[in-house]
Amino acid sequence: MLQIRDMGDGIRCIGLNRPEKRNAIGVEMTLALEEILVRTKGDPAVRVIVFHGIGGHFCAGMDMKDFFDSSTRSPELLSRARAATEHWRIQLLREMPQPIITAVQGYCLGGALPILAASRVVIAQHDAKFGLPEINFGFVPGGQIIKAVSEVMTPRALAYAALTGRPFTPEQAQTSGLVTTLVEDDPFDAALALARTLV
């Protein structure tokens, strides 16, 4: 579910690795994210974190079906996974002592955006696709996702994205404050190169 690589010089790369679901964050991935962030937070050897996606997409958001599927998982596990999500998304990301650089390509939707909000630098490929699509499925976007994203996006850009559910371009994401810079090629290469200048 995660690809963890220590690249030397204190750079730790955390790859979201569920390409068959466009890296949507499900139960196993959320538990793994909590575990690696706790471990990384307390590791003085890690000086920079690089988030990225495997398989052409960053993250299609939270896999809500997975979080509420009690046919294969116990209620205790599902409850634990929901608590883990709140822990890493609300607390751990904000408390990481290491700067976070995030590379975005393909889809970057909904529950993925708090990772961007916690990042010091976000590098997006020119054809990435951003959005808060919850309203399209009958849910009003709110809670901790909107709170986190509101700290980096302009109020009007965020309100438009949340109320309409329409996707927005990398250029619009950059103008709104969500993205730092745009690249034509693989944003992971640019993120790793930047990380190496910081250590």
Summarised one tens digit per residue, pLDDT across range 35-53 is 999 999 999 999 999 999 9
- Edge-first strand listing for the sheet containing 48-53: 2-6, 11-16, 48-53, 100-104, 121-125, 181-183
Q: What is the mean pLDDT of residues 47-62?
A: 97
Q: Is 117 helix (H, G, I), strand (E, B) or coil?
A: helix
**Type of residue at 123:** I
**Region for 143 from its dihedrals, namely left if φ exceeds 0, alpha if ψ lies in -120 to 50, beta otherwise:** left
Q: How far apart are the first and last CA of the chain?
A: 27
Summarised one tens digit per residue, pLDDT across range 65-124 is 898 888 888 999 999 999 999 999 999 999 999 999 999 999 999 999 999 999 999 999
Q: What is the mean pLDDT of residues 166-173?
A: 97
- Least Cα distance to 52 among 20, 25, 88, 16 occurs for 16
Summarised one tens digit per residue, pLDDT across range 137-162 is 887 777 888 999 999 999 999 999 99
Residue 139: predicted pLDDT: 78
Is the torsion defined by CA of 41, 44, 50, 55 positive or negative? negative
Q: Please, what are the domains in the chain?
A: 2-198 (3.90.226.10)
Assigned token pair, 110: 């909904």
